Copies of this chain bind each other. A is one copy, B any other.
Amino acid sequence: MKIYQVERPLVATNRIPGLEHRHLQVVRDGPVSAVAVDAVGCTPGDWVICVGSSAAREAAGSKEYPSDLTIVGIIDRWPPQETE
């Protein structure tokens, strides 16, 4: 899994039916941005864990769902404080 920060929702009205009406979020890891299916309900600024590969399909709710990147958790505190 990778750690990303949620940047903004992504709207794509013209989409394949298989994507349904799930929310898509633009997520960012430094210079790298990607689009993830939101399975937890997050808001811009959240630091999240995203799962890729074939596991992204299960994580999005069904083995048939066409996702290759799904937000599976919101990190409690990130970045970690060195003084902890």
Residues of A within 8 A of B (CB): 1-3, 8, 10-16, 18-19, 24, 26, 33-36, 39-40, 49, 51-59, 64-70, 72-77, 80
Contact = CB atoms under 8 A, between A and B. Distances in A.
Contacts of A1: 24, 34-36, 67-69
Q: For chain A, what secondary structure do more than half of its interface residues adopt (helix, strand, loop), or is it mixed?
A: mixed
Contact of A56 (B14, B55, B76): B55
Contact of A52 (B12, B68, B75, B77): B68
Contacts of A35: 1-3, 49
B57 A18 contact: no
Given A35-B2, A40-B14, A66 B75 contact: no
